[in-house]
Chain A
Amino acid sequence: MSQRFRLNKEGLINRNKKISFTFNGKKLFGYEGDTIASALIANGIHLVGRSFKYHRPRGFFGAGVEEPNAKLQVEFNGHSEPNVNATEMELVEGLSATSQNCWPSVNFDVGAINNFLKMFFPAGFYYKTFMWPKSFWYKIYEPFIRKAAGLGVASIEKDKERYEHKFEYCDLLVTGSGPSGLASAYAAAKNGAKVILAEDKPRFGGTLLTDDVSIDNLSGKDWAEKIISELKSMPNVTVKNRSQVFGYYDHNMLVMFERVSDHLEKKSKFIPRQRLWYIRAKETILSTGSIERPIVFGNNDTPGIFLSAAAKEYMKVYGVLVGKKPLIFTNNDSAYETALEFKKNNVEPIILDTREEHSSELIDEAKSKGIDIRFSHGVIVANGYKKVKSAKIGKLNKDKNSFEKIETVDCDCICVSGFWTPSVHLASQSGNKLKYEEKIDAFVPDKKKQHETSVGAANGSFTLEESLKNGFENGSNLSAKITDTKTEIAIPNVNEKKYGAHDKFWCMPLPKNENPKRFVDFQNDVSVSDIEIALREGYRSIEHVKRYTTLGMATDQGRTSNLNGLQLVSNIENKIVPEVGHTTFRPPFTPITIGTIVGREVGMEYMPTRKTPMHEWHEKNNAVFVDAGAWKRPRYYKQGNETLFEASKREAKNVRENVGICDVTTLGKIDIKGPDAAEFLNRVYTNAWMKLPVGKARYGLMLREDGIVMDDGTTTRISENHYHMTTTTAQAANVLSHLEYYLQIVWPELNVNVVSTTEQWAGAAIAGPKSRDMLSKLYPDLDVSNDALPFMGYKEAEFFGVPSRIFRISFSGELAYEINVKSDHGMFMWEKMMEVGKEFGNQPYGTEALSTLRIEMGHVAGPELDGRTIPSDVSLNGLVSKKKDFIGKNSLGREAFNVESRQKIVGLIPIDRKSSIPEGSHIVQDQNAKLPNPKLGHVSSSCWSVENNNPFSLAIMKDGKNMIGKKFFAVSPLKNKSIEVEVISSHYVDPEGKRVRS
């Protein structure tokens, strides 16, 4: 298909480079520099989608971010993306675009029947229709709404692209490179400020690219190019195109979305697709310009109806005609420029101006060029289903509420202009309360809330002269405050056309007995009658009207519909717009990809991976790893075809019978030093610490101030004023902050310092009846007898020439030791242990065996210390001193903590001695009781007892101490299991603790 609507010369596209693409399977061509929209229009294609609710045919309406209709499913670079704005996406070779929200095709859409049933789809339709019967909701209504809702289809493929985040700081961030943005950036750059200039479009210059103006005898486009190239050459300036600042957050943090390589046909490997910039700016210039708003009329959503400035942009930037028989429908002078542009390209437009006959520079020029101008006229209704064919136009009476004359004129496009709305989104996001400017019928920024300054059209100044002056002055003043330098810049001479006053007219009346749809919000299919219904039904607050009708709630954020909606509500309510107020603007200003938000934090990079110094050995020896926070810990070491269950049983059994070693590097370790260290520990832990001798370890329990157990672990007195504390892997960071809190804030008089040494020490536990024999081989020169190194003893000794610490502590309940060496020696230690341990039957064991060993011993861990238990709940009240004060002590006296039936830890075994009890099961009296079945407790940890060869669990149970010997059911609806269990002591193996002392 030839590009029938492409002009011969006009435009900024590269005609030397043809680009092929497909639309709904049809092969088409465009040029480098085209958007999907401009290329399709050049090919005469206007019908690109179906509307959200009524499946009405829709075409293009705008030429940039304001586009409400032309959202396409686009495939390029091997991925498929929904809801791509055709007016923003640049054409790349091989791109394939398809229409959304239509079936079987955009030309014949079954859903369009909704258009004929529209009386059944009024505002609030969802709320009214899907209410009864209630039982229909899950099976019928919800699936139906889900199918009907949304536009494109999200890809289920893994996103192979690369996305990046970047953090940047600057003195001045300028958002938008129109005249006022360029002027601001230039003035600030000349003052030596660090400037970032962000432009959403591929080309810099904003309206300078399309307006017929001159600055210092250069065309707008040439002046913009000159300023940009000068800015690019300055080392203190970063100039970014294809970059949308979409969010204004606290403390002048702005977030920008950069489309780095979507427009490139081939890109090098490490270039990201898109980049998210977090910019902390000292000052921000909001030069976001303005968006033209439509005038509402009948069937105003028909393909071929454009905003008038968009039509001009298609001609001047892309060299494309949106039609060859245009109607220009306006209430102001700016649309005359579009008409003149058509005329320049030998197309004869008809201008319908709602104002009465009058004169202005532009009107006079249009008249002198012989353009057909009809004052007091407007479009009543557009005719044509898939494309505008003609329009019924009318001559308005003096009050503009009825018609003096109605006729039909042929046309193939309608370019509409209802004046301009400043883009105040970012200003509003910054916290700026907007004010209503009667002169332009729109909201503009009011008093500054953060360091934001709106300039140019975004601030309601619509002349070039004012915008430039505004930009230069603000850019210069704001930056001078930061850099203390002020470079005088002469404000350039400007030549522009003077605009006359606009007409405060925004919605065409309808002739009697005619009732075509008049859309206010195109993307969400909200029409004038929907808003009228909402108000009739009693909705008053604009926020409620918005939610009930969905006005302005689509992805275009109501850029073209907000003000018309407000005007309509104001008219019906007989109020003025500022009384109605406006809805809240929220980020993002334009939709951004999830990939960009996620950035590099995917897969392995989702969070840091912590590996112990022995990690490689574990890997080589078939360890299956489990995540413990950021740590990777061996869960079990797989031999042959072993399952997790088999391997962990073997490993645990070997510890009970021979000896095993376990990598315990991940335990939190905190070095505590200072003359008041003993006193500090005495306050932190529930048990007594003042008399712990040097060279001894002690088990300690710490509480939160509310009496709940926070963490447990052993602390060893290394020397007089030096302690080594261990914490659980999970609580390491919290415990350190907790200690720092008390030392820095509560008891600054204590002379103590704490520092994390978790990563400085590699740790290995040696556990089992043969561990002493093995230890004596590891330390041939050291007396490791029970007398010389008793339970809870500590020694420092050389481990094959490497300094090491030996702790006689046990988590497994067996005779056990823990050896620490500097991290660098961790692998050496481990390999030596494997070598020396052979003759004792040593095997490494993972966290699964570790859990088995501690569970059957009744040692508590994370699942029992779950932030809901106090010491007596987990049978650790023996560690709670009655004599001294400590963190949380006062809370232990609370009534609920001391009631007779208080929960307590118990052991559970299945009656059949076979069925494993799922963790998280609830303990109930009667498994068949009516729901909600009263819960007596829950199963916290489960294992297969290797000592007794049957399942065993720990549970926290109401009145636990009086339940021993009774029978209950452990029910797990999740696993669909109910197991009869008997309550026994939580200490299933070696209840007297003989082994650890042996």
Chain B
Amino acid sequence: MLYIKCPYCGLRAQKEFSYGGDATVKRPNINEEVSSEDWDNFVYMRKSPRGKHTELWQHIAGCRQWIKVQRDTATHEIFQTAKVTEEIR
């Protein structure tokens, strides 16, 4: 079970969180024209990298905040966690 540092609550067990996918995906702006290709990429296309991956998790059984987690998909090592408003390098 992973041990995830919520930027609001501190280190908590994985069972308090739910996974939310790739954090680097940007939704096309509302009320703006978007090409079908860009839209399809946003809705369907995800990378599945081996290694570093910045992803979203929600602390559903805690503060209910969505957070960013940079994790190694092969070893599960967590390099960094951050608020969604913060950048992860």
Residues of A with Cβ closer than 8 Å to B?
167, 249-253, 278, 280, 431, 449, 683, 705-706, 733, 737, 740-741, 744-748, 884-885, 890-891, 893
Contact = CB atoms under 8 A, between A and B. Distances in A.
Interface string B1-42: 111000000000100001010000001101100101001001
B58 A748 contact: no
Nearest to B66: A744
Given A253-B1, A737-B18, A745-B84, A885 B66 contact: no
A251 B3 contact: yes
Contacts of B34: 890
12 contacts: A278-B1, A705-B42, A706-B43, A737-B18, A740-B64, A740-B66, A741-B20, A741-B58, A744-B66, A745-B56, A748-B84, A890-B39
Contact of A250 (B1, B18, B42, B66): B1
B76 to A, nearest CB: 5
Contacts of B27: 705, 746
B3 A891 contact: no
A431 B27 CA distance: 37
Given A741-B66, A745-B56, 7 more contacts: A253-B1, A705-B43, A737-B60, A740-B58, A740-B64, A744-B65, A890-B28
Contacts of B58: 737, 740-741
Contacts of A167: 13
A737 B56 CA distance: 12
Contact of B3 (A280, A431, A706, A745): A280
Contacts of A890: 28, 34, 36, 39
A584 to B, nearest CB: 15
Contacts of A744: 65-66, 84
Contacts of A705: 27, 42-43
Interface of B: 1-3, 13, 18, 20, 27-28, 30-31, 34, 36, 39, 42-44, 56, 58, 60, 64-66, 75-76, 78, 84-85
Contacts of B65: 744
Contacts, number: 55
Contact of B66 (A449, A745, A747): A745
Nearest to A169: B11
A737 B85 CA distance: 17
Contacts of B75: 431, 449
Contacts of A250: 1-3, 76
Majority SS of interface residues in chain B? loop
A893 B36 CA distance: 9
A333 B20 CA distance: 59
Contacts of A747: 30
A744 B31 CA distance: 19
Nearest to A743: B66
A349 B56 CA distance: 67
B52 to A, nearest CB: 16
A748 B36 CA distance: 25
B2 A251 contact: yes
B56 to A, nearest CB: 7
Contacts of B42: 705
A431 B76 CA distance: 11
Contacts of A745: 56, 66, 84
Nearest to B1: A253
Nearest to A891: B43
Nearest to B26: A746
A249 B36 CA distance: 43
Instruction: Please list the 9 inter-chain residue pairs (A to B) with the smallest Cβ-Cβ separation, ordered nearest first.
Output: A251-B3, A890-B39, A250-B76, A885-B31, A744-B66, A253-B1, A885-B30, A746-B27, A745-B84
A889 B43 CA distance: 12
Nearest to B34: A890
A251 B76 contact: yes
A355 B65 CA distance: 68
A196 to B, nearest CB: 17
A256 to B, nearest CB: 14
Contacts of A741: 20, 58, 66
A251 B1 contact: yes
A248 to B, nearest CB: 12
Contacts of A253: 1, 3
A733 B64 CA distance: 11
Nearest to B58: A737
A144 B42 CA distance: 53
B3 to A, nearest CB: 4
Contacts of A737: 18, 58, 60
Contacts of B1: 249-251, 253, 278
A304 B42 CA distance: 69
B48 to A, nearest CB: 18
A891 B66 contact: no
A290 B27 CA distance: 56
A429 B50 CA distance: 20
B39 A891 contact: yes
A885 B31 CA distance: 5
Nearest to B84: A745
B9 to A, nearest CB: 15
Nearest to A748: B85
A553 to B, nearest CB: 26
Contacts of A431: 75
A985 to B, nearest CB: 33
